[in-house]
Chain A
Amino acid sequence: MLTKEQKMKLYTNLVRVRKLDEIMVKGVLSGKVCGHWSSQKGQEAVGVGATTFLRKDDYIFFCHRGHGITTVIPKGISPRAFIAEHFSKNSGACQGMGCLHVADMEYGAPGLSGSLGGDFVLAAGMGIAAKMRAKGQVVVCIQGDGTYGRGTFHEAALMAANWKLPIVWGVENNQYMVFTPTSDIFPKENMADLAFGYGMPGVVVDGQDVVAVFEAFQTAIERARAGEGPSLIECKTYRIEPHTYGMVDKRCAGLRSPEEIEPWVKKDPVNLFQERLLKEGVLTQADVDRIDREAIEEMEEAERFATESPAPDPQILKQVLYWK
């Protein structure tokens, strides 16, 4: 059971991530973001539920959508470092060299694979390290539905199951691979079924319900910390926005219909949790307003910080290729 404080923390993180997403959208439209932005709006409950209560020394991998926004922010990377990285500023998490590739090992975040699905095997390697170190660390590896088509998942899942590595595999199933419905690609309804071939638990949860996501991950994380091996959790969610912000929004050859999107907009994870907490009396309307205001202030301040930060010194290009 979650305490009142824990529920407040989950809700606050959902709101913070949502406000940060809005800043990033503005950043793309104003040209401040170098590159692109794949909005994770409507999918926040997955990463936030899975990672808000991780230990600082646990490791995380995240799907490309949101560039880790729903996991690295709860894990502790500052919105300042996240935004500045996307603005290619020297104050960014990776000194402005990574842009969408945000990493900081102080928070157990080693990076984002450019080739989707490349993270599975790295997660297995970090799982080996965590197991050898024997300090109870876990690896939470949340990847998009499309990446589970990669053979890397099979290889990593096989090794993790065989060696009982402390890993939780998460599927953030938003039902789309760019323009292609995932259901066109995978023969079964539930991707969680992939787990059974490796003898690990595979569960399906409502990815719009942050508490359900938290509980499923918590069970799997406890199992992993206890040395009982990996689990697979499929979080059913939906991609509200186009693949990348501003891109044409297609489904196969045609356009995606508003009728398809609309029911999922109503299942917004922030609103759903807010209604629930108001009903439970955990939150008052005053709390809701305060959390909103504080999140906006935090993200706007971070955005100003990033805007005002200087560009990286090109000298860095000669300094970081090799460890010296």
Chain B
Amino acid sequence: MREIKFVQAIIEALEEEMTRDETVFIIGLNVQADPILTPVRLVEKFGTKRLREVPIAEPGILGCGVGAALAGYRPIVHSRFVDFFMPAADELFHKAAKWRYIHGGKVTIPVTFLAGIGGYLGGGGPEHSQCLEGYIMHTPGLKLAIPTTPYDLKGLLKTAIRDNNPTVVLYHRILVGAGTSGLVPEEEYTIPFGQADIKREGKDVTVVATGLMVFMTLQVADQLQEKGLDVEVLDPRTLEPLDIETILSSVKKTHRLVIVDEDTLRCSVGAEIGMQFMEKGFDYLDAPIKRVGAANSPIPGGFMECYALPQPQDIADAITEVLGIKESFQVKPLELLKPGRHMGERLGYGKKEN
């Protein structure tokens, strides 16, 4: 095992899969020039045909991914901003998701959509700060992974690229930009979809968190430990398929459930997980489920975003609430999100080596 940064895990997965299978190629804006995601080495190794630079044309970009997949290739469509998948909703939600089904299984679409999600960019505004996993999880036909550690990201991205289904892999922009790191084996590995991971064991309360919220919840959990609260943090890792069984067995032990999800609360991934849980696990609960998520509003621009996006204190308060504790335990804001870093820096485009 060695410690590598988040972005290195992406690059290793891409390089290994492109080396392994010559039908794998990357298409997206700035894929030949992104100073973070595409080191010059990759362009030199695979050439500009396999790192295909595009016009600003999202339906065209995603459509090319689906079309090339229909014709037997394994494209990886990349966007730093999942927000920009919305102009290509037809390609993502109709073509990629529905064409195998509507054609009775006669076509196969092995495309991978890789994109950055999330806010906390310190000024991204409503069209550069979203988490669209709710839309994607809602749409049958798409598989969805949302890894939060370099280990999970590399293993799940490699699985996604090899999968014969259209697959979406979402990474949090802040985790890439801040240069967070983690242990990753030297030797090759993949992680199957549909296996949740317990990121922190605890006996008092289960917190199911996704994306950056896993990171945030772990830091909150460490601080609450000092107050004697033992928090279990569970990361589903993939949302389609969703490993509801692991969530059920965790709550069977803790009897309390908090769901933390950065997306807008209404009809979010957290809402779906909560309802799936209620259908099977109501009897395990000693308190109502509590959800933490973004406000039911667009993400405001500039400094104001902190009022719409979930904060560590919201998570801490939700945990104490389901435990019936009246007192509010103060927790620190997330170090990664401290003010004073401009958006370019938060995305990882600062001058310092990431």
Interface residues, chain A, with chain B CB atoms under 8 Å away = 59, 92-98, 101, 103-105, 110-111, 113-115, 118, 120-130, 132-133, 151-152, 154-156, 158-159, 162, 316, 319-323
Contacts and interface: CB of A to CB of B under 8 A. Distances in A.
B59 A121 contact: yes
B252 interface: no
A323 B165 contact: yes
A111 B103 contact: yes
A301 to B, nearest CB: 23
B95 to A, nearest CB: 6
A75 to B, nearest CB: 14
The 8 closest A-B pairs by CB, nearest first: A125-B67, A121-B63, A155-B60, A129-B71, A95-B104, A94-B104, A320-B105, A155-B57
Contacts of B25: 132
Interface residues of B, number: 43
Interface string B122-157: 000000000000000000110100000000000000
Nearest to B22: A132
B246 interface: no
A68 B325 CA distance: 66
B94 interface: yes
Contacts of A111: 99, 102-103, 107
Contacts of B27: 128
Nearest to A155: B60
Contacts of A92: 104
Secondary structure class of chain B's binding surface, majority of residues: mixed
Nearest to B63: A121
B105 to A, nearest CB: 4
Contacts of B73: 128-129, 132
Contact of B103 (A94, A123, A151, A152): A94
Nearest to A123: B67
A258 B36 CA distance: 64
B57 A159 contact: yes
Contact of A155 (B59, B102, B110): B59
Contacts of B90: 113, 115, 118, 152
B105 A127 contact: no
Nearest to A154: B57
B199 interface: no
11 contacts: A103-B99, A110-B70, A121-B60, A121-B67, A121-B91, A122-B91, A125-B68, A125-B69, A151-B59, A155-B55, A321-B101
A123 to B, nearest CB: 6
B102 A128 contact: no
A132 B94 CA distance: 26
A95 B101 CA distance: 10
A26 B170 CA distance: 50
Contacts of A97: 101-104
B72 interface: yes
B53 to A, nearest CB: 10
Contacts of B72: 129, 133
Contacts of A124: 60, 63-64, 67
B64 A159 contact: yes
Interface string B48-86: 010010110101101111111111110100000000000
B100 interface: yes
Given A115-B94, A159-B55, A159-B57, A126 B70 contact: yes
Contact of A103 (B52, B62, B103): B103
B2 interface: no
B30 interface: no
Given A94-B103, A126-B70, A128-B73, 6 more contacts: A94-B102, A94-B104, A128-B68, A133-B71, A155-B63, A158-B57
Contacts of B100: 320-323
Given A126-B67, A158-B55, A159-B64, A118 B102 contact: no
Given A118-B90, A316-B104, A322 B99 contact: no
Contacts of A98: 102-104
A321 B106 contact: no
Contacts of A128: 27, 52, 64, 67-68, 73, 75
A322 B143 contact: yes
Contacts of A113: 90, 94-95
B219 interface: no
B60 A129 contact: no
A129 B106 contact: no
Contacts of B163: 323
Contacts of A162: 55
B106 A125 contact: no
